[in-house]
Amino acid sequence: MRVAFVCADPGVPVFGSKGSSVHAQEILRAYRARGDEVRVYCARAGDSVPADLQDVEVLEHRTRVQDPAARERAVEEAAAHLAEAVVLDGCDLVHERYSLFSRASALVSRALGVPAVLEVNAPLIDEQREHRVLVDEARAEQATRAVLSSAAVVACVSEPVARWAAEHGAAAPLVAPNGVNTRRIQPGPARSGGPLVVGFVGTLKPWHGVGGLLDAVALLDPERVRLLVIGDGPEGPALREQAGRLGLDVEFTGAVAPADMPAQLARLDVGVAPYPAREGQDYFSPLKVYEYLAAGLPVIATAVGQIPAILRHGVTGLVVEPGRPEALAAAVADLAADPARRRAMGAAARADAVTEHDWSRVLERILAAVPVDRSAGRRIDDVRTGTGTSTDSTEEAAA
């Protein structure tokens, strides 16, 4: 099957190191693992192409406008250019990462008569309005409704995002939480001796709660617990200053390429996701938690967003109240004192990652709902294998 992967968001480099970039790369890998031919059409390609994706064909249409109003128009125009390129190349399925002002998947679906998968990872209109600058909200709303209403499947990262999508035109959004590549990320060799290594993975931004994690570690015996912060971001300097002020010996790795992440995870005994409670932030499905699970790490995380639905408290990790460093510290101390419990949690975490959260399973759940050739009633796997029979009813073909 020929798949056109579209990302018209200039803030998401497809081949970058941020979480959204990792997400895009894993979707590409999942399609290729099925035997599909994937081409990328994007506003920003990035310059960190993994070795296994070097042969993916990429068409990039950059936007370099800084003025907010002009930038919005430029993004819309870039998305239209990307759609034109897809139509010229042809495809059997268009998979778009939802981007503000893009109508690309709707344009491609209508022009080629192929189904579109629209992947929605956040309520972007709300985010842009509240945290950045949104000049032409009406036009953003129009583009959003166009792609949501025309997609064969609207795959939303969580229930709150699915509700938002339904309010903006999606007929029956599908909840498809994030996943992890369990072949790329695997448990490292068992560590013995030395302090417990507690780690955070992610971009250092305020909503990740790393400052609270530093406060928690400051409550613990430095001879028994060591903190490793994997990643970088705008909060990096302030967090380093905070660690120094607290007298903590914390290792900050700086930015880490996705290809190097498995080796960094193998250094950890426990993975932590210390998100603070923030109003309106209950929709996310954090990649780091899935990566911790795949690495066979017990996870300590706050009860924020979709985390309570991902972790099995007491089985794959410990879920604590957000905004309380002492609760984080107590959870770390509990696991530091019980190696057998850590091992049992790590094994259960790995099992959950493999059976429930691998990207291949996430993609198959999405594609299971998509008829490719609507006139012939053939489904995704029929197009891939060249099988399938014609019917007069798309619903019958999807049954």
- CATH homologous superfamily of 196-356 equals Glycogen Phosphorylase B; (3.40.50.2000)
Do residues 144 and 103 touch, judged by C-beta distance below 8 A?
no
Q: 245, exposed or middle or buried, with CB in 10 Å at 0-12, 13-18, 19+?
A: exposed
Q: Where do the domains of the chain lie?
A: 2-176, 196-356
Instruction: Give pLDDT, residue 386.
Output: 47
Cα separation, 210 vs 182, in Å, equals 26
> Any idea what DSSP says for residue 231?
B
Concatenating the DSSP letter of every residue in 243-281 gives: HHHTT---EE-B---GGGHHHHHTT-SEEEE-PPP-TT-
Q: Structure tokens of 390?
A: 């014609």
Q: 276, exposed or middle or buried, with CB in 10 Å at 0-12, 13-18, 19+?
A: middle
Provide the β-strand partners of residue 333: none
Residue the block writes with tokens 């032409």: 136
Same fold, 2-176 and 196-356: yes
> Any idea what DSSP says for residue 355?
H
Q: Is the pTM of this model over 0.75?
A: yes
Instruction: Give pLDDT, residue 382.
Output: 52
Per-block average pLDDT, block size 10, for the chain (399 residues)?
98 92 96 98 95 97 90 96 98 98 98 98 93 94 98 96 97 95 93 91 92 98 96 96 97 92 96 88 85 98 93 98 97 97 98 96 95 49 44 27
CATH of domain 2-176: 3.40.50.2000
Q: Is the dihedral of CA 114, 115, 119, 124 positive or negative?
A: positive
